[in-house]
Chain A
Amino acid sequence: MRRALILLLLLLAPLSALALSSPADMLPDPAQEERARALGREIRCMVCQNQSIEDSEVGLARDLRLLVRERIAAGASDAEVKSFLHARYGDFVLLRPPFAWNTLILWATPVLALLGGFGLIWLSRRKAVQPTPPAPLTAEEQRRLAELERVGGGTQA
């Protein structure tokens, strides 16, 4: 029981590490801080690449967190903060990439996969509904059929 409890605590430990912004870095206005967090979760940490700047402990992520807060405190809109970072780090910094010709396949993939799935279902159902008709009987089989129908049954020889 105690071991299970310790194991559970160990498993939960990484979760507590997610809230990273140190209190000193937070904005005094809770609404602005909330906006900064929501925005930060959409900005990729360029160093760890699969984390947002709100999740990462890397120095650059902290610098960018502070930068986002500084801009928001100065009255910038979410879109302005994003375009500020986009101008410096490109599409890659946005965890939700913009819709453009070079990201078309990326955005279209779920739709294409869904259509492909429907296509497969349609194909397999069409096959199931229309079983191929049996091949016509040969002359030999016709004769045997007439025989079977005349006798109407049989026993093992």
Chain B
Amino acid sequence: MKLMPKLLASAALAAGLALPVAAQDDPFQVGFIYIGTPGDYGWTYEHDQGRLAVEAHFGDRVETVFLENVPEGADAERAITQMILGGADMVFTTSFGYGEATNAVAAQFPDVYFEHATGYLREHPNVSTYNARFYEGRAVLGHIAGQMTESNIIGYIGSYPIPEVIQGINSAFLHAREVNPDVEMRVVWTYTWFDPAVEADAAQALIDAGVDVLMQHTDSTAPQTVAQEAGIISFGQASDMIQFAPLPRVASIIDNWAPYYIRRVGEAMDGTWTQSDIWEGIDTGMVVIGEMTDAIPEDVRASAQAMIDAIGAGEYHPFTGPINRQDGTAWLAEGEVADDGTLAGMMFYVEGMTGDIPN
């Protein structure tokens, strides 16, 4: 874990300010805890873009600090505490595994605002959680993938078998099947969010199994490189990965945290911040579909855009019945829409998926 110069500077500043603090002139300090580095061009990169957007939006009124490569677990607690002692008034902890550490520190600092990404633990009134409806974006990618595959086998690199990832697989598969009844989906689990070598190997394994469209739910661009060499199609993940456009990357699913970060920092500054559990998608722009390249046929682009618009307008939910579970039992009846509780705990495949979810 590296202490960034900015944080060092602010820590030194805080140490020097042993005199009474003039709250009026002090910039509001916002801290970010990162699981990786902004250089991953994926997950952490997008959180860092959100941080920069906060800086750009509030100018001198806000100061931001961040810590990168913070391991999940006990070390995170120390890192968050250190950040607050350095003067942070608000902390965003940007990985699922920081949940317990965030709440433990929140108990000690009731005046500091905490925002935990993709989590569910809100044990104290100063802790909020936020997440994006990634499955909405996956539906659009599945819609495109189903029409672009020629081998009728779509590959999916999964990180860990947790509900958030399984939602994405199911959503992508349902919408690929909808436009292409012959489509199959093959899933490889890497058991890591970020290991470029393993991600590249997983991509190669899928390609060798006949996959010609590749989706990923891991953080690095390594699978894109493999897809490019193999001449198949891929989708950017977490960030736009536009450097791989127009091929292999034909579209992407972007986690756009900036509007949320600006909104919450603003609320914290003017005292209107309240605890919340946010789960937003295409409607508020938290999930964005990156530019669809010319490699996608025009009619497919048009129908994909129509789906984006329908989801954004709240007219279409990607999990709308009839949908059966993998074992053939009914899950959603005709026209029924999945409730958030079931989605948040989704540990089953939908009908038509051939593999098993490892436990």
A in complex with B: no
Interface on B for A, CB 8 Å cutoff? none
